[in-house]
Amino acid sequence: MQEAFVNINNIPTHIISWGKWIEESLNDTKELVICITGNPGLPGFYTEFGGALQKELGAGGHNLPVWVIGHAGHDDPPAASIREVPQLSGNQELFNLDGQITHKVEFIKKYVPSHVKIHLIGHSIGAWMILQLLKDEEVRQRIKKCYMLFPTVERMMESPNGWVFTKIAMPLNSVFGYIFFTVFNALSIWLRLILIQIYFLIFSIPKQFAGTALKYATPSVAEKVVFLADDEMSRVRGLQREIVEENLELFKFYYGTTDGWVPVSYYDQLKKDFPKVDAQLDSKRIAHAFVLRHSKPMAGIVSNMIEQNLYSE
């Protein structure tokens, strides 16, 4: 595993790779895997998934590089870095959905040669971003298959979690959010870690993600995560049927059965509207935020999907 912050759309961006690093030559590479995260877009939450996926593919004899790209502004570079992430105020266009899409387009065009085909994984809002990426013909020509995992591609505000977020979480955040994050980050780093670990223990989250959660809790990151989520609520409404229909052969949808963001009724409606769509309903009760507890089983599922769509040797 390699990781670093690279400059994409003038924003230091956290990238994690398995196999070839993004700046290595891809002359002898035909295909690779890129994962676009959900929200929050911190690649640190995807380390177990990405590593397990690359291992699964390797066990099948397929040595594909696996890259995970975080969202712009969702991960601050180390304090010693010469680059800083711009503040949210006055730079909203860099961190909203449109800015995140521009960010991913630039990454692909900069680091993926035209001869390399991409197996593109979109988790949650990452799946909606994939729909927008397909509007760029240069990017679309690079894509072999899109794997839409627990896809928040429609009616986010109408979902059970969307209702909670807009009616409860956002009003509370507007009143107490700044105070909470300011007070929390005024504590010593050890006390912050202890509090996070207690939270993880209560909700059965592996402690290996404590460091990433600590980054998530910084005010500069948290405000951009909430800002993007608020934009999602207002923008992700009806399914973009034209994009889905025009690119139907590129999609593999994977829906959960316990998903508060994407109810099973959304899966049922998709199958009704597009009878030929390649869509699958989870049978293992994997959670929407699969990277926290179900990375390895999800990696096995996705590796099987990818292996079915690889070029024959």
pLDDT at 206: 77
pLDDT tens digits, one per residue of 138-185: 999 999 999 999 999 999 999 999 999 999 888 877 766 667 777 777
Asked whether 122 and 128 are in contact (CB, 8 A), the reply is yes
Residue 132: pLDDT over 60? yes
Top CATH class of 2-155+238-307 equals alpha beta
pLDDT tens digits, one per residue of 272-309: 999 999 999 999 999 999 999 999 999 999 999 999 99
The neighbour count for residue 235, using CB atoms within 10 Å, is 14
Angle between the 219-235 and 178-186 helix axes, to the nearest 10 degrees?
150
Average pLDDT score over residue span 217-234: 92
pLDDT at 311: 73
The neighbour count for residue 8, using CB atoms within 10 Å, is 20
**Cα distances (angstroms) measured from residue 217 to each of 113, 180, 213:** 36, 10, 6
**Cα distances (angstroms) measured from residue 55 to each of 65, 66, 209, 298:** 10, 10, 20, 13
User: Catalytic amino acids?
Assistant: 124, 259, 288
Q: Between 218 and 255, where is the model more confident? A: 255
42 CB contacts (<8 Å, ≥6 apart)? 14, 70, 74, 75, 212, 215, 216, 221
Average pLDDT score over residue span 101-113: 97
pLDDT at 187: 79
Residue extent(s) of CATH 3.40.50.1820 domains in the chain: 2-155+238-307
Residue 313: pLDDT over 50? no
What percent of the chain has pLDDT above 70? Answer: 98
Average pLDDT score over residue span 194-207: 78
DSSP three-state, residue 146: strand
Please state, in angstroms and rounded to a whole number, the distance separating the CA atoms of residues 224 and 116. 32
Question: Which has the closest alpha carbon to 302: 249, 272, 246, 291?
Answer: 291
pTM (two decimals): 0.93
pLDDT at 207: 80
Residue 312: pLDDT over 70? no
Residue 203: pLDDT over 80? no
pLDDT at 219: 85
pLDDT at 178: 67
pLDDT at 175: 66
pLDDT tens digits, one per residue of 45-95: 999 999 999 999 988 788 899 999 999 999 999 877 878 899 999 999 999
What percent of the chain has pLDDT above 90? Answer: 77
**Cα angle: 304, vertex 292, 205; to 5 degrees:** 145
